[in-house]
Structure 1
């Protein structure tokens, strides 16, 4: 390590996976924690969005089955007078921590006012 160079270590988590041999199809492995983790993650994200935006309706859906890809639908009066990009930025801000770690991508997002949603 040279003078003035800062080295850091990334903390890493690993999981063993089954590797198939030649001509074998990989067998899906059930992870008993996945369902619990994704349910807790979706509930946490939903609560944060509701609280941050005073939302009348929030749906966070796990589209990948492992919580890494989600779809989000939000109805909030706070969106009144805002363009779609600003609305989405408010949602992203509410769940910023999850997007830095647990969630890889938001695959789809709808953001509407109660009037636009017909409520």
Structure 2
């Protein structure tokens, strides 16, 4: 799994968790502690939602661990700026012109020189 995919999963899970947090007015961490201790929803309709919420939280936790491990491994070989530059260059989410502009801004702000290519 790439760093980009890990981050996308983290954000997707966070969006799911936020929806449930707003609905039930409780943070996912608090919910998950009670859920893990065996608490069940007051009605059978919420069972599926609680299972989905717990699943999103578990995936979020796992992806956060994967992210930390990946970043730690990358930081052993690169500076944070190099990691960011590589992410911009390889990001499938950014259109090519945006990647070029981003690299231009990064390069000119860190070196004081304009990139040649």
Q: What range is the shorter-chain TM-score in?
A: under 0.3
Structure that is richer in strand per residue: 1
| TM-score, scaled to structure 1 | 0.25
Structure that is richer in helix per residue: 2
Q: Which has the higher contact order (CA 8 A, sep 6+)?
A: 2
